Amino acid sequence: MDVVIYTRVSTDEQRENGFSLQDQERRLRQHCEQFNKNIIEHYQDDYSAKNFNRPEFTRFLNDVLIKRIKPKQIICIRVDRFSRNVEESLQMINTLKALKVEVFFLENNFDLSTPENYLPYLIQMALPQIENERRGLNTKQGMRQALRLGKWMWKAPKGYQNDKLNKLIIVGEEAHFITTAFNEIATGLNSIDSIRIRLSKEGFKCSKQQFLNILKNPFYCGLIKIEAWKNEPEELVKGLHEPLIPFDLFNRVQSIIDKRKRKQFKVSKINPLFPLRGHLKCKDCGDMLTASSSKGRSRHYSYYHCQRGCKERFDSSLANNSFNDYLETIIVNKEVSELYLEIYKSRVEEIEGSKEKKKAELEKKLQSIHKEQYEIDSLLSCRKLSIEDFSRISQGIKSNISIIEEDIAQLSNNIESYDKHLSFGISLISHLPYYYQSSPVELKSKLLGSIFAKSLVFDGKSYRTENPNLFLDLICSDSISYRGSKKEKTSNSRGLSNWAPPAGLEPATL
């Protein structure tokens, strides 16, 4: 019987447990000699058994796939030399079984042709994983205990360095940059990033996020932070290293960081007396008008006025009422608006048809790529393709599939409800005086900003806009009095029972 033997050890295992690759090989060769098994290849790894990404094991699989060798068995000393992961072990055993290669262990091997042997076999396979996870758990607990004793176990933070001889953390060459940063930030005179940029020019190379992490790290005031784990709460313990800054300085910097983090900018509220503020332009200098109130003998007076010393000054009530009259001059041409909707719908259908054609082409291309994937899988199962080539080709195919599926998903997003939005927009403009006057001041400002994108000019009697809204020009083609002289006014109650939306100023479908 032709067989291959496989030996494995990790550096830690050889150092701690005395495993020997030579001893494994000796025992495997003795077994093969005793049972007349012909060793056609020996594969040997110095890697962890957490997975099968090991150079020699990968070479073995490739040799089997390309039929360079045709072993009946791969023989290991025991399960943990093969793998320390139950799930991956079972998958690999099934893969090798499909390639007609049996996995055989010198210690605790089970004949899986007998169903009852599966249970002890699985238990035997689980033991290495349990051992591995227990070792990891013990290591983590040991490291946390070392931290409680003030010992830092990893690479020294910036500003310190590792003393490998004495296994200590000592002050490094960049320590003075750290102390300078804390001291300057504590004054509150300069921004954190401006201090970082200046120190960077002096030789302290540090990213914005890394600099912020340094400022928040209690290690620099002599403390070590132990993260919460399981039922153990977060802890701060005194470290064995020398602190670079005093504890009170560290706390002052934390207060400054927290204060800047909590700082919020107040959103300025629009005064209900001045809904046109920010939309009116001075006809003399072209600047935007501001607004203010002043107290007279008997009442307050409110005005829109220019800040540049121009004589532009209007009573706010006059300007607001005149604007309401101005809105009444916007009359939608029903025939034109209906025609516009029909043209728009026709254009949408044209776009949708183009999208459907493109989508069909992509779906056809996707079917072709899936066929390629099937062919690659077949080549692998027939052992006509190496694992490396299969992995490389398959990765490219999966990438193409992902891109095409994303394109199809985007094309599947129909331009639905756009006609509803457009219909509602025309309805809104048709009854603009009603919507404007019944809206809160914040919404009034938004309406003005969307309809009169540039600005409005008031001459004390009437309004005009120097940058007309093209959409208004279109649907008000027979009555563009809002651009010039007044024409027929609209009524605030013009069929509103049939037009008013059910909630707010948006259609229910939004």
Average pLDDT, the chain: 79
**One-letter amino acid for residue 486 of the chain:** K
Spatial CA neighbour of 60 closest among 101, 118, 115: 101
pLDDT at 12 over 70: no
Kindly report, residue by residue over 350-403, the tens digit of the pLDDT: 777 777 788 888 888 888 888 887 777 667 656 666 666 666 777 778 778 878
pLDDT at 268 over 60: no
Binned at pLDDT 50, 70 and 90, residue 453 comes out as low
**What is the maximal distance between C-alpha atoms in the chain?**
120
What are the two backbone dihedrals, phi and then psi, of residue 84, each rounded to the nearest 5 degrees? -115, 25
Please name the residues in contact with 472: beta carbons below 8 A apart, sequence gap of 6 or more: 330, 429, 451, 480, 482
Q: What is the pLDDT of residue 121?
A: 76
Spatial CA neighbour of 476 closest among 366, 352, 375, 329: 329
Kindly report, residue by residue over 456-496, the tens digit of the pLDDT: 888 888 887 766 666 676 667 554 444 544 444 444 434 33
3-class SS string, 420-461? HHHHHHHHHHHCHHHHHHHCCHHHHHHHHHHHCCCCEEECCC
pTM (global) more than 0.85: no
